[in-house]
Amino acid sequence: MKCLVTGCAGFIGSHLAEYLLSLDQTVYGVVRQASLPLGHLSKVHVKQCDLLDKKCVRETILETRPQRIFHLASQTLIKPSWQDPELTIRTNVLGTLYLLNAVRDAGISPTIVIVCSSGEYAATNDGKPIGEDHRLEPSSPYALSKLAQDHLAALYGRAYGMNVMRLRPFSVIGPRKSGDVCSDFARDIVAIERGQQDCLSVGNLEAVRDFLDVRDAVAAFWLIAERGQLNEVYNICSGKGYKIREILELLISLANTEIRVRQDPDRIRFVDEPIRIGCNEKLRRLGWEPKIPLDQTLSDVLAYWRSKL
């Protein structure tokens, strides 16, 4: 089967491409810059294309004519979305619009898996897992752009009969990721181990998040494409909540030296949600369950940064 992965050089995209190759699928990987290395993913058919270039998107779809599309390409970071909300909204919304229109223009009917975000959901304070029917209230320009992307995909599914499925990942973590709390902690610990810095700066350690290993996440992506219902939305999450403090303590326990910690006000978000735990019952009904424990994931993240720094 021909599968097209947008954002193939990114964190989740590269893991998804790796997983698809392990299933003997033909993988076309869309990247914005041809110079981005895909390393061990040498069997991926790389297509250079900026999703904001309508002509290039159309040509890529016509050339590859994929049977499944996994749309991950986006601006994914919250802080930059506050700094440049226009770029975030253009990238995430218009990029999706151009992709959906290109599929329509090509006259093909692939399954299209749109990767949205749990950031679309309103925050909760009661600790109850958030289901797919929970109220939507984005708390950042990034989350707002994902909400628009989500609803745009749903609209095209209803209006044009497109085979769309929407995913809302919570905190997906693992090797190759950067810019999130787990990778930031791990990178700083490695820097301290090597004498490059003297302490680890932290923000809010009391926030509760739902962490899922990226390798479990991409297995869920494929299962949803195989067994999921068209025009439905699925949470991608572990269903368990951990305080950021617990993540820090687990990583420090894996360090090779003493780690000093200090509070940094600059690491506090403009809008910081106290609790965000997902409900994965809908996903589990398809036969999925997470397999990789959190301590293994964090050990792998730390090993990744030790190999890179």
- Averaged over successive runs of 10 residues, the pLDDT of the chain (309 residues) comes to 96 96 96 65 90 97 98 91 95 98 98 97 89 95 97 98 98 95 97 95 93 98 97 97 96 96 72 84 98 98 95
Record the tokens describing residue 72, joined without a space.
Answer: 């991950």
Whole-number Cα distances in Å, 94 to 11, 57, 74: 21, 11, 10
The answer to whether the CB of 73 falls within 8 A of the CB of 6 is: yes
CATH architecture of the region 176-209+241-276+292-308: Alpha-Beta Complex (3.90)
User: What pLDDT does residue 121 have?
Assistant: 96
Which sequence spans correspond to the domains of the chain?
2-172+211-236, 176-209+241-276+292-308
pTM of the predicted protein model: 0.94
User: What pLDDT does residue 10 have?
Assistant: 92
Q: Parallel, antiparallel, or unpaired: how do β-strands 211-213 and 111-115 relate?
A: unpaired
Instruction: Tell whether the torsion through CA atoms of 83, 86, 90 and 92 is positive or negative.
Output: positive
| Among the four given CATH numbers 3.10.310.30, 3.40.1400.10, 3.40.50.720, 3.40.50.2000, the one describing domain 2-172+211-236 | 3.40.50.720
User: What pLDDT does residue 135 have?
Assistant: 96
User: What pLDDT does residue 272 have?
Assistant: 63
**Separation of alpha carbons 160 and 34, rounded Å:** 33
161 Rama sector, left if φ>0, alpha if ψ -120 to 50, beta otherwise: left
